[in-house]
Chains A and B, each alone.
Chain A
Amino acid sequence: MVGELVYLRWSHSDATTSTARPGLVIAGPDGQGDLVLLKVTGRRGYANAVSLETCDLARGEMHKPSFIRTDRFTTLHVSQVEERGKGVAGKKMAEVFKLLACRNSVAFSGLAHRANRPGAENALPFEPGETVVPYAGRVFTEDEVEAAVSSTLDFWLTLGPEGEEFERELAKVLGVKRSLLVNSGSSANLVALSALTSHKLGEKRIRPGDEVITCAAGFPTTVAPILRNGAVPRAVSRRTSNRQPDAFRRKSASSAGLRAVARGTSRRAPDPRRHARRRPHYERIDFCRGLPRPHARDAGLRRRDDPRVLQKSVSSGLPRVNPLAQDLEHVLVHTQGLWEPIRGKSIFVTGGTGFFGRWILESFVRANTALDLGAHLVVLSRNPDFFRQKAPQLSGADALTFVKGDVCSFTASDVRAQLPGPLANFGFVIHAETESGSNLGDVNRSPCSIRSCRARGARSSLRGKPVQVAFCSSAPAQSTDASLVR
């Protein structure tokens, strides 16, 4: 009988008189023939009431609009039903059941979640050894629980109309153009930090190898997005005396490739904008994991020292950490004791800007710096300007000099003309150039030019009187043809 609209004797509160009134069956009849019903009334204005019209009926019709009161229950025996014949449609019944579930959720949350509501009227007093203190601020009220239950009942588990409404409201509260909902604070961190790598930020953006200062006691998912984007996290703790991040007090940090700063969020932490005046191109971009409580904002208070608020500042024009650091360390470890013969020497490199060349240059700069070799690499390139754009940090290295020239046609005097005297006296030559950048079987590339370029390139490099030459030959100098191999 669930969903039937019936007339029955409804006892008055004095339990002596009764009236025939409509009621909606929401459960039963059970084994004893008992029904659970909600009172239906023609009067408007009751809280927790659901409207009922003819269009909401599956059977029968309403003479006038009525209201189902979801907070007026009665239990009666099925024999007391005086009139049947009307049935409420499933959709309206679902609305009634949803309202019941939500109201019960509010009642449940009011009792079960008191620990998550510090300062609320019905909050439990703190008892040492008894009261559980949540490790982080999961602060919510019955409203949130009710909204969550409501969404669950709709089974709209992804971003829907309510989420979009929330985005609009939040943007309004924060005074920003728009806000974007993600599934968790960790995702928000990832999205926010990744957004800071956008090319739209130009020079301000975070690039691989940049340093991002973050708090030492941060959540792991604060650090993970930094690593994910190829940047290098630098954890700092705050001084307990003045609550300023140590990094701001250490010159070494500011000179070690500092690019982004997670401010310690203390009001008294130095404002990165002050640094902006001292450092050109210093830009501050903020994002946060927590919001100030509305009442604090309304009272015109300053943003509280919420430890979850993370502020990032981005600067540029400072030296950056090499993303190859780990690989170059590997090279250094496994070339221990090797480098002495090149100390103070000048080395000429062809093909220094390709795949091989980049590694030769990078590993040389690392060893030269680490071991203070005082050696110098002179790099032949057809287009040094293009390489400067491609590898700005390398082209800025003191131990590298780029000379313009083509490996097939350059002469020793060309090179000498571009160099100060001592550098042109090469102790070593590395000939790593090759004309293989495109498909070797491509008929548009002349095989003759490939062959003669290799041979002539080698000859050009061999002229002059260096001490030692490394020639990067390759296996095709033998054979790659299996039929010949076997």
Chain B
Amino acid sequence: MTHISEEYLGGPNCSDPGSAYGEGKRAAEVLCACFQKQHGLETMIARCFAFVGPFLPLEVHFAIGNFIRDALRGGLIRVGGDGTPFRSYLYAADLAIWLWTILIKGTPARAYNVGSTHDLTIAELAETVREVVNPNVAIEIAKKPVAGSLPSRYVPATTRARTELELHDRVELKMAIQRTAESALNARPNA
């Protein structure tokens, strides 16, 4: 399975403290379902994956933001891991389209994956950022891949959003990176 669908029933390890974020969201989804049953509250659920665009904080734990920051600084793009995990990124303007459409046209208590299906590895992502933002910088990958291990994947299947709500990934990744970088360049203190 390369793309996680809404139907997938696997879950986080519930005895790992690192799962708190995911478990919080699971609990919240249950609450949404309960409120709907008990009070008739119509709740749309958007399961959001990874995104890129203006206002994305570049200094926190998002790899794509860190890479863009590194490329803009002109030093070295640092990949913290081994570069093998697969990710995909939806552009923020597309995200806005998806969220408003799910809120207004979605089916209540039916989760919709929100994200891009165009997957690439973190190493390929670093290379794409380099190419778009600053071809003069080098890429440093901190760890060597462990032979034989399966790369992690965080990539949605978005068939549901595409077929039921006609939502598409319209802005391609290179353009998305470029606009994010331009926006970061234009952001001035106090602006």
Question: A212-231, CB under 8 A of B: which get 1 and which 0?
Answer: 00000000000000000110
The bracket for how many chain B residues form the interface is 35 or more
Query: Does B46 contact A475, Cβ atoms closer than 8 Å?
Result: no
Question: Residue A455 contacts which of B28, B49, B51 (CB distance < 8 angstroms)?
Answer: B28
Given A327-B93, A356-B95, A479-B11, does the pair A470, B46 have CB atoms closer than 8 Å?
A: yes
Which of the residues A362, A447, A474 comes within 8 Å of B18, measured between beta carbons? A447
- Assess whether B21 is in contact with A473, with CB atoms less than 8 Å apart: no
Interface centre among A207, A448, A475 (most CB of B within 10 A): A475
CA distance A436 to B61 in the complex (A): 9
A-B contacts counted at CB < 8 A amount to 236
Interface residues of A in 171-192 (CB under 8 A from B): none
Using Cβ atoms and an 8 Å threshold, which residues of chain A touch B108? 468
Q: Which residues on B sit within 8 Å (CB–CB) of A454?
A: 21, 24-25, 27-28
Q: Of B17, B22, B35, B55, which contacts A355 at CB under 8 A?
A: B55
B102 — which chain A residues lie within 8 A by C-beta? Answer: 470
| Residue contact A323 to B186, C-beta cutoff 8 Å | yes
CA distance A185 to B39 in the complex (A): 69
The size of the chain A interface, using a CB distance under 8 A, is 74
* A451: B residues at CB distance < 8 A: 20-21, 23-24, 27
Stretch at the interface among A41-49, A58-66, A281-289, A330-338: A330-338
Please give me the residue from chain A that is nearest to B191 by CB atom: A207
A181 to B83, CA, bound (A): 45
Tell me if A471 and B44 are in contact (CB < 8 A).
Answer: yes
Contact in complex: A199, B189 (CB < 8 Å): yes
Contact between A469 and B43, CB atoms less than 8 A apart: yes
Min CB gap B185→A, angstroms: 8
Per-residue A-contact encoding for B1-27, CB less than 8 Å = 1, 0 else = 100100010111100011111111111
Contact B43–A355 (Cβ < 8 Å) = no
Q: When chains A and B are docked, how far (Å) is the Cα of A462 from the Cα of B23?
A: 18
CB < 8 Å: which of A229, A324, A436, A471 contacts B45?
Answer: A471
Query: Is A116 on the interface with B (CB-CB < 8 A)?
Result: no
Q: Is B142 positioned at the interface, with any CB of A under 8 Å from its CB?
A: no
A residues less than 8 Å from B150 (CB atoms): 482-483, 486
Q: A359-B93, A359-B96 are in contact. List 8 more A-B contacts (CB 8 A).
A: A334-B94, A338-B100, A437-B57, A454-B27, A469-B41, A470-B102, A474-B48, A479-B4
6 shortest A-B CB distances, which residue pairs?
A: A454-B24, A476-B22, A447-B20, A458-B28, A470-B103, A208-B186
Name A's B-contacting residues (CB within 8 A). 197, 199, 207-208, 229-230, 323-324, 327-328, 330-331, 334-335, 338-339, 341-342, 354-356, 358-360, 362-364, 367, 389, 428, 430, 432, 434-441, 447-448, 450-455, 457-459, 462, 465-486
29 CB contacts below 8 A, A to B, read A197-B188, A323-B186, A324-B54, A327-B53, A334-B94, A338-B104, A338-B105, A355-B53, A356-B95, A363-B97, A435-B24, A440-B18, A447-B18, A450-B24, A454-B24, A454-B27, A455-B31, A458-B31, A462-B31, A462-B35, A462-B41, A470-B43, A474-B49, A476-B25, A477-B26, A482-B152, A484-B10, A485-B4, A485-B10
Chain B positions within 8 Å of A, measured between CB atoms, are 1, 4, 8, 10-13, 17-29, 31-32, 35, 39, 41-49, 51, 53-57, 60-61, 92-97, 99-106, 108, 111, 113, 115, 150-154, 156, 170-171, 179, 182-183, 185-191
